[in-house]
Each structure stands twice: as C-alpha cells, then as structure tokens.
Amino acid sequence: KKGSGRRAMIGFWELKGGAESAVEEIGSYESGEGGIKHGRNDEEKTGLLEESKDEASGGLEFRVNSPYLGLLIMAGGVGSFVRGYDLGVMGSALLPMKRAFDLTDVQTQLLVAMVMPMAATGSLFAGSVADKLGRKAGLLTALFFITGGVFLMGTAVNYEILLTGRCIAGLGLGMTFVVPSMYCAEVSPVHLRGRLTMSNPVLTMAGMPLGFLGTMLINDWRWAFHTVTIFGALSILIVMFGIPDSPRWLLSQKRGPEAEDILRKTVSSSETAAKREEIARQRLVEMKQDMDRNKKRGLATWKEVLLSKENSKNLAVGLSFASLCPLIGVEAIFLYAVYTLTQFGMSERT
C-alpha cells in the first residue's frame, strides 16, 4: 500500500523536478521578498514533501478559522450583493423613471437591454484585470464602475445621461460575475471551495428583494439609486481596507510570505501553531505545483478549446448552465416585474 501510494505520487509531483523544486522556489520567495524568512533547511523540505504525499491520500485534516474565512468570503462577495441590490432597484424604479423623463417604450426597453451587452463586455476583460492587477483590484474596479454608473443615473437630468450611467454600471455588473467567484475560490480550502463559492449567487439573490423593498420604502427612484451608490461606496471601503489579495495571486507575484500568512490565518486558532504552519506550507506547495503545471501546458487556443474531443462534454455542460439563465430571461422577469404587475391592476407600491 505504501509503495502504491508512492508510485501515485510520482505522477502527481512529476513537474519541473517534482515537489523539491516547488519547495526551493517557495523558499526563495520567502528569502527574496522583504527578507521575512531565509528559505527552508533540508529537514523542513523533507517534512514538507511528506506532508504533500499525505495530501494525495486524503490530505491533512484541520478546522478552519470560520470568522476570518467568513470575513474574506463575505467581503469578497459584496460585489455580488450590490449586483442583486441594483437589479432590485432598477426593476422598482423603471416606471417612475419612465414618467419622470417621459420615455417611450423603445427608450425604456433600451435602458433595460443595454446592460446585457455591457455586462458581457465587462465579464470578458474582468479576468485580465484580475490577473494583471490582482483579484482585489478586480473587485475594486467592478465596484467603481457600478458605483459611478448608478450615481450618474441618480443625478441624471436627461435620458442620455441615464443611459450612459446604465452602460457604465453594466461593465461593473459583468465583472461581478467573474471576480468575486475567483477570489472566493482562491481563499477557500479545497474541501470547502464549492460550498463557499456558491455564496456569490446566494448574495445576489439576497440583494434583489432588498432592492425592491428599499425602493418601496423610500418611494423616490433617485434616492433609491443613491442607496446603491452608498452600498457601492461602503463596499469599496470594505474591499480596500478589509481584505488582502488572494494567496494564489500573491504567489504568482513572488510574494510567498504574504500568501503563506493568509493561508495560516484561515486555519482555526484551536490548532497548534505548528499545525497551522504545517498546513499553510502544504497548501502553498500544492498551489505552486498547480501554477507550474498550468505554466508548462501554456494557454490553449480557441480552436483547441472549442474543438477538443476531451473537453467537449465539459464545455457543453458549462456553457449550457452559463447560457440558460440569460436565455430564459430570468433577469428580464425581475426588471419588468413591477411593470408587468401594474398591467393587472396592482399599484406600484403593492
């Protein structure tokens, strides 16, 4: 059994010289950036390799630091909440805006529809922004677009400014489909990654009814949009001062000590200091190995992605899930909900 486990590890670590190279590189990151640490001695490297072997057979068991990890997940997901809240406000404010600016049906429909192509554009460059500037910078960029666009809408004096603000906000809304999930996935332990990443759609769905409720209570469409601006500004402060960048991005920037410190904090304080250190180092090695593997493979071309038989089923499933929601018009249902219900004799406030 021990021999079979070792043979399995050969395939797992057979990359750029194996796990030894990953440990060497991480050690050099620690000694090269700010002089925080001075690399690993032979005993530490050997221990780290053994921990990595344990991971292949199930990994080290540890309790997470729920308050700290929860803070990272919630703060990283504020963009998703703001997106949902904005959709709720937009759906409630559509009729009052139409009356205030005496909009035609075509102008009203354009105001609603333009957010989709702008969101698609925002989602396309969100990954590049997050890769070059960091996940935290990606979150801030999305929130700046949403906050700035909604502020223009709340202060608009004509239809052109109103439409411009909606387009700007749409760019940020599109980015929130990508960056919050990316951040949550990279700060989460592997065994909790799926559950914690699902917090983003949950936050979006929580924000939507609050947007409808807030608009109803305020009963003023401009101030309803100002509440989105306030939420956006508060979210910017939370992200800017409340959370670090993701460990994976920090490691890609040769900032290993910072990445290890964040990983250590996600382990429960009920674990011993040695255990927290052990787990953080192991996760750092695994992260480096995965990054090396991706680097070795290189970027795939669009032809390889779309025509590969190996990926065809996974790609079809992924694209189906990503496409079905907008294709069935679920967001249009929310955005036109108040408008539709008034056609059946209900009042806007009802």
Q: CB within 8 A of 140, min separation 6: which ones?
A: 236, 239, 240
- pLDDT the model gives residue 6: 37
Cα separation, 279 vs 266, in Å, equals 10
Domains and CATH numbers, the chain: 2-63+267-297 (no CATH), 66-247 (1.20.1250.20)
Judged against a pLDDT cut of 80, whether residue 199 lies above it is answered with: yes
Cα separation, 184 vs 200, in Å, equals 9
pLDDT (tens digit per residue) in 278-305? 888 988 888 888 888 888 877 777 777 7
Mean pLDDT of 56-76: 73
Cα separation, 178 vs 139, in Å, equals 9
Cα separation, 80 vs 155, in Å, equals 24
- pLDDT the model gives residue 60: 54
Judged against a pLDDT cut of 90, whether residue 347 lies above it is answered with: no
Q: How many angstroms separate the Cα of 310 from the Cα of each of 295, 304, 305, 321, 343?
A: 20, 10, 9, 19, 50
SS3 percent helix, strand, coil of the chain, rounded to 5, is: 80, 0, 20
Percent of the chain past pLDDT 70, that is, above it, reads: 80
Judged against a pLDDT cut of 60, whether residue 2 lies above it is answered with: no
Average pLDDT of the chain? 80
Judged against a pLDDT cut of 60, whether residue 47 lies above it is answered with: no
Q: Of the ranges 7-11, 34-38, 39-43, which one carries the lowest mean pLDDT score?
A: 7-11
Taking a C-beta distance cutoff of 8 angstroms, is the pair 249, 138 a contact?
A: no
- pLDDT the model gives residue 308: 79
- pLDDT the model gives residue 348: 65
Sign for the CA dihedral angle at 286, 291, 296, 299 comes to positive
Taking a C-beta distance cutoff of 8 angstroms, is the pair 192, 63 a contact?
A: no
- pLDDT the model gives residue 337: 81
Rg (CA), the chain: 24
pLDDT (tens digit per residue) in 265-281? 888 877 788 888 888 89
